[in-house]
Chains A and B, each alone.
Chain A
Amino acid sequence: MLKAALACGVLASIHVTALLADFASPVPFATQQREYAFAPPTHIRWFDREGGFQLRPFVYARVDATNVKRYPVQFFVHGSSYQLGPVTLDRHLFGVAAPARLFLLGTDGFGRDQFSRLLAGGRISLTAGWLATILSLSIGTGLGALAGFYGGWLDHSIMRIGEASLTLPWLYLLLAGRAFLPLGVPAASAYLILIAVVGVLGWARPARVVRGLTLALRERGYVVAARGFGATSGYILRRHILPDALPVLVTQAAILVPQYILAELTLSFLGLGIDEPVPSWGNMLAAVQHYNILVSYWWMLVPALAPAAVSLCCFAIGDALLRRRRAVPL
């Protein structure tokens, strides 16, 4: 349980950080500081060159040809303005005074701060994961429950359509979808439409799980009793079957979210990800497919840790839920 609680904590903090990305980032994710292209992570120091300990961490920056100066890391600094819900703010969690620069995770080929992009990219990738999961689960649960509960030709046709959709070459569908999208659609919307398509196409697997569960549940004594007392099918589904299926759905969600985050990585790798300059974990990692970047700039690989962490946390939670469900018989 401790592991699951820890995973929940990490997952929650990743989500909160992604939500507050503009505040937690020292610079906007799209700002190109071209003179700092592929700058390595800034060295944050506690000890100065003379060996003296400094209470406040600092960075060194060159002020002219001969002089290097110390710039302390400051917190709650003023910077570029951003929207947080309805409010316009200009405070950032941390930063350093110019001309110093603070790149926690280095910069990319345009001189854009990788840390800021990682946080902002989290918003897109996590939204993609959740959106596709919710769509898959909603459609899958609805159709799976109907198929399992009513059986007969309805069950037969829903399951055959499901199997057919599993064999669809979704990558080509996405390529076609992308080609036909109007150019005027903003980058994030265009991208979320594609993710929604992925989510909708993914309904068959959860539908099969829910159908199996419904088939078992509808024969339970309390369901038969409810039916005997004259309960309608809708009532039985709503009051007895779906609530019992909920733990299974949560476990499914824990598996599907990382799966769809990985799908986002695949889309970006194929150039179907979100358009520039909006970051996502997928398009940040897509840069690493180039050999020269892989061998020359190690910090470009750091974004891989984010989806890995989310996946591990989700799997830990899913695992815990599964154990709990096995421990408590239905």
Chain B
Amino acid sequence: MQIRRKCSAAQLLLLVCASSLSAEDLLVTSLPPGRYGGDLVVAERSEPKVLNPVIAVDSLSREVIGLMMADLVHINRESQRTEPALARSVDISEGGRRFIVHLRRGLRFSDGHPFDADDVLFSFQVYLDENIHSPQRDLLIIGGKPVSLTKQDQYTVAFAFAQPYGPGERLFDGFPILPRHLLIGPYKEGKLNKSWGLNMTAGEFAGLGPFRYKEYVPGQRLVVERNPYYWKQDSARQRLPYLNRIIFEYVGNEDAQVLRFQSGDADIISRISAANFETLSKQANGVRRLIDAGPSLEYTFLFFNLNDLSNKSLPQIESKQGWFRDLSFRRAVSMLIDRQSIDRLVYAGRAAPISTHVTPGNKLWASSRVTPVSRSLETARSLLASAGFSWNAGGKLIDGAGRPVGFSIVTNTGNNERLQMATMIQQDLEQAGITVRVVSLEFRSLLDRLMTTFNYEACVLGLASGDVDPGSEMSVWPSDGSTHLWDLSKSGLKSGWQMEIDHLMASQMRSTDRAERKRMYDRVQELIAGNLPIIPLVSPDVLAGAKAKLKNFSPAVLLPYVLWNIEELYWSEQ
């Protein structure tokens, strides 16, 4: 009797275990099976500032957080399209105003605690909280109103928007789901911003990403270890990830990064200059593999100060704005710039000349109707002549009032590529008699001039889109955007084409018809290429390398360039 009772108890236990296992709604990928084991050492230039996804802004922090956290829907960095993650599916209704998110069942955080709709509600409550000042908050304000969430059952959450949201479920990619059971306390006490700093212990952290926090040694390294509860499997039903630990080592600068990779102390290298990539390629042997993933989403450009300076007492700059506002002048400058040489000399041929801000790396949204800029000294000179400019006896360009045409280009010290580009532009414009001075400034004083004092004439800078979707450019192109660098004065003096851009950008954010959005964004690209509020230069390639034994290594043009598929990486046996 006793034995029978014991047996039935064991059977019951087995049954419970089996049912709980089968209830675990894991994502089975089509990935061919890999091999478990091994660590991955990544040499980085600098350390992350914080491991709290709610307040992290720097890319290094986000990169580490990305390994330890997961979102509802994820953008596949390779295909640039969305794919289900913690959400099994998303139903979109009411013309794009309502998203019903069905969560995977039976998933657990890295500390073993179950995940459900309450974690989702808590996460978005935190992201939307004005007192937290999360950088992602603005993305959740759609049509002037915050997104509202309703829990429908333990595994279903409804998101309601004030107006249709064009980018759709891409929205969810930037919102890692937080563990309510660990963070509700600090949140209620108003201490969430101080949680998950670099000084936390492993027990204080839990996430849904492939790895979990292990340790941090200031100035030296940060270690994350395999999350045994991760919710993805390969095609052979092996639970991912394959690697045991990821060790980030902080080495100070790019050259040290290159040396560590070269000596074999680091397994992966990314974000390297084309010059260093070339040096490594020359020394490449069978041990290391270097990959050029093609043009990134970064666009470098020259822009003029088009701010309204009437109340800034900068008469010298104001007197030159007549030239800068003249489209013929901007087009002539654009035509004088030898982008091919910039590609060849500054980026060792590992960049793509561009004529608008959407780079060839953006597979889904780049317009085929925008034509490349062809360099032509003759056309540039005739454009300048038709705009009332002429040349004096010394070959210098003078304007209608007889003033010699010249301006300064500011750029930041420490960015060798930008300084080189400015130097090349200087010589290119000299050919048309335009005198250019190149001034390199410390980055903070440069930003102060660009954003606050407007005390500059022209600038060479680069911006990188966070996503391929036009939604990621909303801070740049509408005239009230916070990164509308060339005219932040919001003077109200809008040109016709700028008003059209404002309208198109706002409309595409409301439209859920992708073809319609594409048409609108194509038009925006045409307007930018035709009116040149910025003069696009080149888009540098994403360059990375890894040891040849590391399998599934596939750099992408979206951040994080190399660790986006970390759960799929494994060491081959050779």
Contact = CB atoms under 8 A, between A and B. Distances in A.
Given A187-B437, A290-B416, A276 B341 contact: no
Contacts of B490: none
Contacts of B307: none
Which of A184, A186, A275, A276 has the largest count of B CB atoms less than 10 A from its CB? A276
Contact of B426 (A186, A277, A292): A277
Interface in A247-306: 270-272, 275-277, 290-293, 295-296
B494 interface: no
Interface string B411-422: 001101001101
Given A34-B345, A183-B408, A183-B457, A295 B441 contact: no
Interface residues of B, number: 39
Nearest to B345: A37
A291 B259 contact: yes
B344 interface: yes
Given A34-B341, A270-B413, A179 B441 contact: yes
Contact of B424 (A32, A190, A272, A275): A32
B420 A109 contact: yes
A109 B275 CA distance: 11
B272 to A, nearest CB: 10
Nearest to B283: A295
A251 to B, nearest CB: 36
B410 interface: yes
B345 A186 contact: no
B276 A291 contact: yes
A111 B438 CA distance: 18
Contacts of A30: 427
Contacts of A32: 424, 427
A183 B410 CA distance: 8
Nearest to A37: B345
B440 A275 contact: yes
A169 to B, nearest CB: 15
A179 B445 contact: yes
B255 A290 contact: yes
A276 B316 contact: no
A293 B278 CA distance: 11
Interface string B241-284: 00000000000001100110000000000000101101100100
Contacts of A179: 441-442, 445, 448
Interface in B5-56: none
A271 B345 CA distance: 20
A240 interface: no
B438 A276 contact: yes
B345 A110 contact: yes
Nearest to B413: A271
Contact of B414 (A175, A271, A276): A271
Interface residues of A, number: 27
A109 B254 CA distance: 19
A109 B422 CA distance: 13
A272 to B, nearest CB: 7
A178 interface: yes
A35 to B, nearest CB: 9
Given A271-B440, A277-B426, A183 B275 contact: no
Nearest to B277: A292
Contact of A272 (B338, B413, B419): B413
A183 B440 contact: no
Nearest to B442: A175
A275 B439 contact: yes
B212 to A, nearest CB: 35
Contacts of A275: 437-440
B328 interface: no
A28 to B, nearest CB: 11
Contacts of B278: 292
B423 interface: yes
A253 to B, nearest CB: 31
Contacts of B255: 290-291
Contacts of B341: 34
Interface in A123-174: none
B418 to A, nearest CB: 11
A216 to B, nearest CB: 45
Interface of B is mostly: helix
Contacts of A110: 345, 420, 423-424, 427
Contacts of B110: none
A110 B424 CA distance: 8
A183 B279 contact: no
A34 B438 CA distance: 19
B437 A295 contact: no
A277 B419 CA distance: 10
Interface in B274-330: 275-276, 278-279, 282, 316
Interface in A81-116: 109-111
A38 to B, nearest CB: 9
B187 interface: no
Contacts of B439: 183, 187, 190, 275
B155 interface: no
A291 B258 contact: yes
A183 B276 contact: no
Contacts of A37: 344-345
Contacts of A111: 345
Contacts of B441: 178-179
B391 interface: no
Nearest to A187: B437
A316 B439 CA distance: 38
A32 B427 CA distance: 8
B420 A184 contact: no
A179 B450 CA distance: 13
Interface in B78-108: none
Contacts of A291: 254-255, 258-259, 276, 279
B413 A277 contact: no
B345 A109 contact: yes
B465 interface: no
Contacts of A276: 419, 422-423, 426, 438
Contacts of B279: 291-292, 295-296
Contacts of B437: 183, 186-187, 275
Contacts of A175: 442, 445
Nearest to B408: A183
Nearest to B276: A292
A277 B423 contact: yes
Contacts of B414: 271
Contacts of A187: 437-439
Interface in B422-463: 422-424, 426-427, 437-442, 445, 448, 455-457
Contact of B275 (A34, A186, A271, A293): A293
Contacts of A277: 423, 426-427, 438
17 contacts: A32-B424, A34-B344, A34-B345, A37-B345, A109-B420, A110-B427, A178-B442, A179-B445, A179-B448, A183-B437, A184-B316, A187-B437, A275-B437, A276-B422, A290-B273, A292-B273, A292-B276
Closest 3 CB pairs between A and B?
A271-B413, A179-B445, A291-B255
Interface of B: 254-255, 258-259, 273, 275-276, 278-279, 282, 316, 338, 341, 344-346, 408, 410, 413-414, 416, 419-420, 422-424, 426-427, 437-442, 445, 448, 455-457
Given A110-B420, A291-B259, A292-B276, 9 more contacts: A32-B427, A34-B341, A109-B346, A110-B345, A110-B423, A175-B445, A183-B408, A271-B414, A277-B426
